[in-house]
Structure 1
């Protein structure tokens, strides 16, 4: 297939590289029509098509002009390419499989393809990543990707907790966090986690109450959060259960609390410096990131 790719001088290098990548499938001419590809006029395009023997034209998806008249007079279909030249390598290899639009930019058509390709690349990198530790099959830290933790507040008040947890995992959460307010009792925590025995993904318990933390350790894979106020009470129990834990500063510094958690025997630790918002201690809290070798929350 012989294709004309009009472009601007600002992006000609990117477009030519994309054309070379598809040269085994198509005969592609890249022609500079001005500084900016989207400023292409119907008259300029029609002059380019005379005697060229082209099967199609792919113009910038940013073009606002109508090329319907050019198509009628030349018999060459004019399709909208992607808005950005950098996306051409995603379009040219699949021209045999899709039909581009004459009015809608190609990247709108290829959004799903791009998502699938991105997901595939992320999955490959994640499989190859060397993490600091693993929580129920989910890699944490090291070269692993950032993880998504979804929180269910006041889990003990939910009518159908299992359905909510399953929905969050289906929506892409890596870990589901069950939060418990001040009115929750250990029996509430046990009940909630017991109803989730069929859930395969990692679950976290979100409370600083050591009694509630202890009540969740028969199933919780991650504890949020530990500090000098609860570590002396429940630290060893967390270690014995093999759970991971998020450690935060309180009256003691983050490094001090991490050291206490390690002394309690907890091997899988995530550091949370408790970053404050702008105007409320942001600069000071940023210091908490210094010298932390553990994964960050």
Structure 2
């Protein structure tokens, strides 16, 4: 394919370098008589093309920042004009994919291809999972074998939630990627509490449901109510259970005086068919993180088939660090250990989003395996605050006026606004007269305020813009927000 990439004078060197790095034949760079590529319009492009001798191109790529209509160019020269990426740097990634994706007149190539790459990545994961051979299944969810690591999300103290709260929590987990739901049962719960929880969850989701308790009575109540998985059993619990259900999976843990291998063998002798081993992952306590991982390594050396349970949340909940990086690294470690289940309660505010993070990292490890690459440049990622490619920045000009913060405030005669965010993802601006505006973005809110003529002073408009932007950022990062407070 022969492609003409047009740009302005300022981006010329960056565009040429990006084209060279793409290592694609048939790409030519054209520099128009304009400084900024985003200012190229149909008239300027027609003028440039008229002066060229060679117009043997299959496509013309313009900056993804351009909003002009190039229909006249296409009609006059019979060459399609499409949007390239927003930033010249990304040409090195866009150009090699020109034969795979039809570029757009409205959507920048970087955005279009990002969605294409994401869809292809998730399709690859789905295809892999479809062909995977598991150790066993729970309600058609593959466990162990060479299947993808599954995410088990715990509802802590599920029996203390009313039916609406419980079902909403479960829906949230499933919508964010949970493959299975774990019902954490409190110490003072009874059999009826367990049965109620299982039955309510069964009505809203079709995925496997586990009961999380060491009480034999509550385990039996969960099995009777229709749970698929039991967390957890040790030697003491097994002494009080008369038999195991063949269709139920049991997570086996070690206890004082009885190792994981011994307890697994005892469970098998009592009739258990679906077993999952949990050598226990800890960051502090009797073992610590390194010793815990060593226990997993030693287990996998001795037993290469039994699915492994990995309590990621046991570490992340007890570490004051952003969960996204910790979940990614622990998932990679789990993958190398041959882990089958990634567990998180997503309990504390700092771990909010862990279910989604673990699901994505599980998919990334599958892609890393089937593509035989490190878990990068996969089409999906866990980058939240960091970025793979920095946009060009400008040096601080010595001719700038130094900004000085001033304590200027006056009450707007058209009223004030209280800004907040909602749990379902809205920015809310409430006027002193009682009316309010809600929107998914800062722009939706302030455009509506302007439309209602709800502001008079420019300093008030600037203040609102700042606070609305902070509220939008809080929503994107899954953080809380308080007006005028430190972010």
Alignment TM-score, normalising by the size of structure 2: 0.47
| Structure 1 residue 80 displacement after superposition | 1.8
CA distance in 2, matches of 1:7, 1:262: 66
Structure 1 unaligned segments of length 5 or more: list them: 20-27, 32-40
1:204-223 alignment to 2 at 5 Å? 204-218=210-224, 219-223=226-230
Distance 1:184 1:91 in 2: 60
Shift of residue 50, structure 1, vs aligned partner: 5.1
Q: Name 1:287's counterpart in structure 2.
A: 294
Alignment deviations for residues 239-278 of structure 1 (CA, whole Å, 9 cap, x no partner): 2252101122222222222222222221111122212227
Per-residue Cα deviation, 1:204-244 (whole angstroms, up to 9, x for no partner): 1111111111110021101111112212223x54x225210
> Cα distance, 1:156 vs. partner?
1.0
Q: Distance in 1 between matches of 2:18 and 2:94?
A: 17
Residues 15/221 of structure 1: CA separation in 2 closer, same or farther (3 Å cut): farther
| Match runs of 1:1-297 below 5 Å | 2-4=2-4, 8=17, 12=21, 15-16=23-24, 28-29=26-27, 51-53=53-55, 54=57, 55-57=59-61, 79-80=84-85, 83=90, 85-86=92-93, 88=95, 90=97, 92-96=99-103, 98-99=104-105, 106-159=109-162, 160=164, 161-198=166-203, 199-218=205-224, 219-234=226-241, 236-237=242-243, 239-240=244-245, 242-251=247-256, 252-277=258-283, 281-289=288-296, 290-292=298-300, 293=304, 294-297=306-309
**Alpha-carbon offset, residue 100 of structure 1:** 5.8
Q: Is the 8 A contact 1:225 1:246 kept in 2?
A: yes
Instruction: Tell whether the 8 Å contact from 1:227 to 1:247 is kept in structure 2 after alignment.
Output: yes
Deviation at 1:2, TM superposition (A): 3.6
Distance 2:261 2:246 in 1: 23
The equivalent residue for 1:24 is none
Deviations along 1:135-183, whole A, 9 cap, x unmatched? Answer: 1100011111111111111111212123432343233211011110111
For residue 35 of structure 1, what is the aligned residue in structure 2? none
Question: Is the Cα contact below 8 Å between 2:82 and 2:105 reproduced in 1?
Answer: no
Task: Assess if the C-alpha contact under 8 Å between 1:7 and 1:15 holds in 2.
Answer: no
- CA deviation map 1:31-74 (0-9, x unaligned): 8xxxxxxxxx97xxx99x95442441367x8xxxx999xx9xx9
Contact residue 85 and residue 110 of structure 2 kept, 8 A: no
Q: 1:77 to 1:145 in 2, by over 3 A?
A: closer
Structure 1 range deviating more: 158-167 or 148-157: 158-167
2-structure distance, mates of 1:193, 1:208: 16
C-alpha separation between the residues in 1 aligned to 2:279 and 2:27? Answer: 55
SS at match of 1:215: helix
CA distance in 2 between counterparts of 1:284 and 1:222 reads: 27
What's the CA shift for 1:131?
0.6
Question: Per-residue deviation at 1:127?
Answer: 0.8
1:77/1:90 CA distance change after superposition, 3 Å:
closer
Check 1:209–1:90 CA distance in 2 against 1; reply closer, same or farther (3 A cut): farther
Distance 1:111 1:50 in 2: 33
* SS at structure 1 position matched to 2:245: helix
Q: What CA RMSD, in Å, does the superposition of the two structures yield over aligned residues?
A: 3.9
- Provide the C-alpha distance between the structure 2 equivalents of 1:286 and 1:265, rounded to a whole number of angstroms: 29
Alpha carbons 2:19, 2:91 under 8 Å: kept: no
The aligned length equals 264
TM, length-normalised to structure 1 = 0.73
